[in-house]
Structure 1
Amino acid sequence: MKLAFDCRYTRIGRHDGISRYTAGVVGELAKIDGLDLTMIISDERQLTMLPDLPWIKVSGPTSVREPLVARQVNRAHPDVVISPMQTMGTAGRRYRLALTVHDLIYYSNPEPPHDLPAFVRVLWRLYHKAWWPQRMLLNRADAVVTVSETTRGLIAEHHLTKRPVVVARNAADLPGPAEASAAADAADTRAGAKSLLYMGSFMPYKNVETLVRAVGDLPGYTLHLLSRATDADKRRLQAIDPAARLVFHDGVSDEEYHALLQQATALVTASLDEGFGIPLVESMGYGTPVVVSDIPVFREIGGEAALYAPARDAARFASTVARLEEPAEWRRRSIASRTQAEEFSWAASARAIAELAIGLTGRSAPR
């Protein structure tokens, strides 16, 4: 079976969430027998972030040519195309198509990402004012993929598609068990480090303000904000509590991120809504506990390993973090975190997508 994967959302230089999802799933799809896999790219520089596989080049996903991109993809004669987004153009396609919905965050939090072109941001806002555009797009595909049971439930609740919906979850490239074991053995040091990490953007729904207030209530603690922040974001967060110890890293490499995870007391996030939460899996994979907002998708990811607090309750966040000052509790959470992280793998997600693709063509299942 000829399977093509839309890799045009792959970032150049460093992955974001969708880019990492693309690379992780494609890498494992390539290992499955019976699949003739081709990557669809829009910039040859994307190849440095992707596996060494056959590829075709078409126009970019934000191009005005996007509604007709299927006519370019047809030239590769795929049986099935998987897109990691729901906006891939479908006019004139001659293949089966599965589109991906990562989350429904922007219906309740309509502020678009600031790095999108201006005309795309306008369309973004219009798109998220009603459910019917989403329904129209999804029902033009043959199937829908999503990354969590939580989002699949929301798709059903809002009747967004008549097509089958398959869950292929996000994952992370976990370190070996030695790193997780070393974390548990260092419980005394890590519990006393009073170092908290936040990995994510500063958009309103991320609710970073609660984390800042919580750190202000935790004497001796430092909150490391790892992503790039604008000067306006820095001033806004510092003004919330001038006594809170904040360190803005303005972006870190994967190596720096992993080193910080291996030194931290916990990773924290107070998001009001998410489609998944890859940093939770990354942190738990290193045996670093997570303290997160009590929302359904974080319960799905963190299970019994994570610690939870109400999203807007800074005092509860602070008291929950303080539980990890006890080395025995920290060690117990560390061991449970690694076990929980192993529930997520790119191989399992690729298998779910491969089985979906095979089903769309009516062929026998891959081995």
Structure 2
Amino acid sequence: MDEFTERSLQAATQTDPGAMRGTKRSVPFAGFAINGKFASQRITGVQRVGYELAMAFQRLFPEDTDLPLLLPVDARTDLDLPQSKTVGRWLKGAPWEQLALPFATRGRTLLSLCNMGPLFARRQVVMMHDVAVYDLPENYSWKFRLWYRFAFSILKHSASHIVTVSEFSKKRITARLGIDESRISVVWNGVDHFGRIAADSSILSRLNLQNDGYVLVVGNLSVGKNLARVLAAIERLSERHDWKFVVVGGCDLRIFNPKAKAGCDLSTNIVAAGFVSDGELRALYENAACFVFPSLYEGFGLPPLEAMSCGCPVIVSREASLPEICGDAAVYCDARSVEDIADKVAQLMGDAALRDAWRARGREHARQFRWECSARQLLDVLERQLGVAGVALPVPPPVISRL
């Protein structure tokens, strides 16, 4: 049994030893509202976590439970948002969150799941995904850094409790914000939302890609994504192999090219896919020979789990939260060694049987990361840390790992 399974079972049985026998446990009934600011933004990264966790949290309660999702006026209309309620007529963005939202909670405990929340809400649980504004300040503008550092300095005192997404992030929050560990709980993300996405295989013909014939990379301008070393490894591999490397993300790859000053182009084996839809990304995961993610900094690291869930072998670094989240279901590389990144890619690309073994292992590992488990862990945190109680919910059968 791996750590995630143990944590899920502990969350299910901590307040009721009979839970393993199929009995029920007490959980908080209503008394909560959910910060729906994420619904006005592009659903990626922390917004994806906020949306999926909020929906899973609501599904745990009976349909007639009063558990509103509070939305700004510019919330997207293409999302399924049950029990949603628009509050504040004119305000949007941060002004809405800071000024309109606190008055709409009406004495409830507010669940803010995307790093930020009203600074002076009287009762609030905040999910802080990471403290990258401290650990990777070069990734952000000075205005963004100033706002978030100021906000975190308030929230660390005003929030009733802090939730984060990994033990790594918990340690970094403790170190950077000086919050006692007893005030921080870990709730891992799920990945089963990817199973609801229909693959859009048209991207394969558009990019002239063959099944099991390319390496997939997700990159952006963040220093933590380590794209410069990935591209250097690709350049090294392209000298000996004709493999294709598909880079997904919205950035000019030439700024990472060590030969750019000499006027050289990137390798012709690199396919810059740019931004892709969720369906296109699923198709790329499903058909890739492997996925390379040697990140230097991740609060959780959802892309490797997404790849695993789609049957794509994964290469990740040993940095930050990645060993904690990927366990023994990924190939590990030295993120700071171009040679080691290239060697690990070559090992997988040169052995089809090895790729198949990692596909099976990754799929099995990813099955354990379910949003329902995450929502139940959050409920357990609220019960233990805030002392709330209420209706009883059935405990699902335990997930037993076969790894």
Compute the TM-score of the two structures, normalised by the length of structure 1.
0.82
CA distance in 2, matches of 1:70, 1:45: 14
Aligned partner of 2:18 in structure 1 is: none
Choose which of 274, 282, 302 in structure 2 pairs with 1:278. Answer: 302
| Cα distance in structure 1, aligned partners of 2:383 and 2:77 | 26
Change (3 A) 1:159 1:215: same
Please state if 1:256 is matched with 2:256: no
Letter in 1 for 2:79: M
Measure how far apart 1:2 and its partner are. 2.9
- 1:62 pairs with one of 63, 78, 94: 94
**Aligned amino acid, residue 266 of structure 1:** C
Which residue of 2 is the match for residue 117 of structure 1? Answer: none
Q: 2:103 aligns with which of 72, 80, 86?
A: 72
Give 2:218's match in structure 1, choosing from 173, 188, 199. 199
Cα distance, 1:319 vs structure 2: 0.7
1:310 is aligned to 2:372: no
Counterpart of 2:401 in structure 1 is none
> Does 2:43 correspond to 1:15?
yes
1:36 aligns with 2:33: no
2:219–2:227 Cα contact (<8 Å) kept: no
**Match for residue 126 of structure 2 among 96, 99, 102:** 99
Shift of 1:361: 5.1
Extract unaligned runs of 5+ from structure 2. 1-29, 200-208, 260-264, 394-403
Measure the CA separation in 1 of the matches of 2:275 and 2:177.
38
* Counterpart position of 1:268: 292
The TM-score with structure 2 as length reference comes to 0.76
Contact in 2 for aligned 1:10/1:18 (Cα 8 Å): no
217 and 71 in structure 1: CA distance in 2 versus 1, 3 angstrom threshold: closer
Q: Which of 236, 255, 274 is the equivalent residue of 2:255?
A: 236
1:71 and 1:307 map into 2 onto residues whose CA distance is: 45
Relative contact order (C-alpha < 8 Å, sep 6+): which is higher? 2
- The alignment's C-alpha RMSD in Å is 2.7
Specify the SS of the correspondent of 1:193: coil
Counterpart contact for 2:125–2:160, Cα < 8 Å: yes
| Contact persistence 2:300–2:322 (CA under 8 A) | yes
Choose from 179, 183, 190 the match for 1:171. Answer: 190
Give the conservation status (yes or no) of the 8 Å contact 2:296–2:320.
no
- Correspondence for 2:269: 245
* Aligned CA distance change for structure 1 residues 66 and 22 (closer, same or farther; 3 Å): closer
Q: Offset at 1:152?
A: 1.4
Kept in 2: contact 1:70–1:90 (CA 8 A)? no
Please state if 1:81 is matched with 2:99. Answer: no
Provide the secondary structure at the position in 2 that maps to 1:103.
coil
Alpha-carbon spacing, 1:327–1:259, altered in 2? closer, same or farther (3 Å): same
Residue of structure 2 equivalent to 1:327? 352
Q: Which stretch has the larger CA shift, 157-166 or 278-287?
A: 157-166
Q: CA deviation at 1:329?
A: 1.1
Correspondent of 2:368 among 343, 356, 360: 343
Give the 3 Å change call, closer, same or farther, for CA 60–138 of structure 1 in structure 2: farther
Equivalent residue number for residue 126 of structure 1: 146
Q: Which moved more, 1:354-363 or 1:196-205?
A: 354-363
1:363 to 2:354 alignment: no
Tell me the residue number matched to 1:222: 244
The answer as to whether partners of 1:111 and 1:125 remain within 8 angstroms in 2 is no
One-letter amino acid of the counterpart of residue 146, structure 2: L
- Measure, in 2, the Cα distance between the counterparts of 1:208 and 1:336: 26
Shift in CA distance, 60/200, structure 1 to aligned 2, threshold 3 Å = farther
Please give the alpha-carbon distance, in whole angstroms, between the structure 1 residues aligned to 2:67 and 2:171: 30
For 2:178 and 2:154, the matched residues in 1 are separated by 8
